[in-house]
Structure 1
Amino acid sequence: MKIGIIADTHDNLPQIKKAVEIFNQEKVELVLHAGDFVSPFTCLEFKNLNCPLKGVFGNNDGDKIYLQEKFKGIGELFPEPYQTNINHKNIIMLHLEKLIDDLAESQKYEVIIYGHTHRTDLRKIGKTLIVNPGECGGWLSGKSTIALLDLENLEAKIINLAYKMQ
């Protein structure tokens, strides 16, 4: 199963559009968003996904109830942490990074996904793959990135969306 991973979109609709196009081209079966959608209008681009979306709220997501309402029919948004089991793989997704190493050292999860730092992080601790796709929005670093996860092989790669300030 191929999963798209995205975080810290921060209202950047052109970059969200690029990410959605790549996720659709890659035929991902699920997109996981590690928080900081920011405004409900981001649903305007996410509605073009050809698969469901599951996301957690980040520290910059203000109107969580309205975000959930606007994303009905696109996917589900949850308070962090979001835990699931897909194809016999335990996955946990958070926005904040505080517990990442402790969670990895527990070896309870095959995949840990997080955002918030606006920096990519792709590493393994034991059997646990840790993925931070970096920031899709590109506002902070000038880099706009997402990740693709091959759940069967537990391999991920970072995709650069070639962001330029307008």
Structure 2
Amino acid sequence: MSRIAIFSDVHGNLPALKTILADLDLRKPDQVYCLGDLVDFAPWPNEVIELLQACRIPCIMGNHDERIAYDHEVIPLKKHTEDETNARIQAVDHTRDAISAGNKDFLGKLPQKIRLNFTQQGQELSILLVHGSTRSNEEYIYENHNEADLYQMMEDENADVLIMGHTHQSYIRKINTPDGPEKLALNCGSVGRSKEGEALATYLLLDIGTTTLTVELVKLPYPVEETVEAILASGIPDFYANFLLLQR
């Protein structure tokens, strides 16, 4: 049996990350991976990066990591109000000012994908980890995404299980296949900025046996007030503190 833990979208929220890591210390997975977006929106970009490095947790490059690493501009999204767009720009600027040169370089060297291979009854089980989708770390794949498109993405990558972040909304979805076993499309949610209605730090656990695959979404309370107070005391817009307060 192999136990794999996967989390994503920490967004500089150190108290939430510490909560996840404390739970992992108890559950003792064999491997731990992070799907990116280590920075922006909470005021601990350096501390988050350095803690993940100290724990030797492999990470993927999220779209926010890429933006900070390569100084990409913030492109407004249609789903955001003008107030949120302005807050995004200010929060990203805060990270640009705060991040160390070494940590910026670290973000720029992160991979786009990680593949894990296991063997079950002589058959290979291929698990693909990405931030947004197989095509882009900017693409949002929600639970209601077109099944045929999801299936084709996984076929193109020879993946039996696709694990994503980016949307900040966790889910477990079975994908039907024309002539074989079901595939799985999973989203591990967000550690530091959940959009599921509650300020909970979320991650995914996979238990992989010789014939079985068990998936569990773990959702943990963390000291939200600590994060809120730190945002209010920083140069990050209060928008993000208020977002967390509304979900308590």
Instruction: Name the TM-score, length of structure 1 as normaliser.
Output: 0.79
Q: Which residue of 2 aligns with 1:138?
A: 193
Q: Which residue of 1 aligns with 2:224?
A: 165
Q: Which moved further from structure 2: 40-49 or 12-21?
A: 40-49
| Distance in 2, Cα, partners of 1:139 & 1:112 | 20
Q: Which residue of 1 aligns with 2:59?
A: 55
More strand by proportion, 1 or 2?
1
| Distance in 2, Cα, partners of 1:20 & 1:164 | 14
Secondary structure (helix, strand or coil) at the match of 1:10 reads coil
Tell me which amino acid in the other structure corresponds to 2:13: N
In the alignment, structure 1 residue 120 sits paired with structure 2 residue 124 = no
Q: Which residue of 2 aligns with 1:43?
A: 49
1:20-49 CA-to-partner distances (Å, cap 9, x unmatched) read: 111121110111211101234213433564
Question: Does the 8 Å contact 2:12/2:48 carry over to 1?
Answer: yes
In the alignment, structure 1 residue 89 sits paired with structure 2 residue 95 = no
**Percent of aligned pairs with the same amino acid:** 26
More helix by proportion, 1 or 2?
2
Q: 1:165 to 1:53 in 2, by over 3 A?
A: closer
Tell me which amino acid in the other structure corresponds to 2:27: E
Q: 1:25 to 1:105 in 2, by over 3 A?
A: same
Q: Which residue of 1 aligns with 2:19?
A: 18
Matched residues, number: 159
Q: 1:121 to 1:146 in 2, by over 3 A?
A: same
| Distance in 2, Cα, partners of 1:140 & 1:70 | 27
Runs of 5+ consecutive residues of structure 1 not aligned to the other structure: 72-76
Q: 1:139 to 1:118 in 2, by over 3 A?
A: closer
Q: 1:25 to 1:115 in 2, by over 3 A?
A: same
Q: Which residue of 2 aligns with 1:103?
A: 153
| Distance in 1, Cα, partners of 2:25 & 2:9 | 19
Q: Which residue of 2 aligns with 1:155?
A: 214
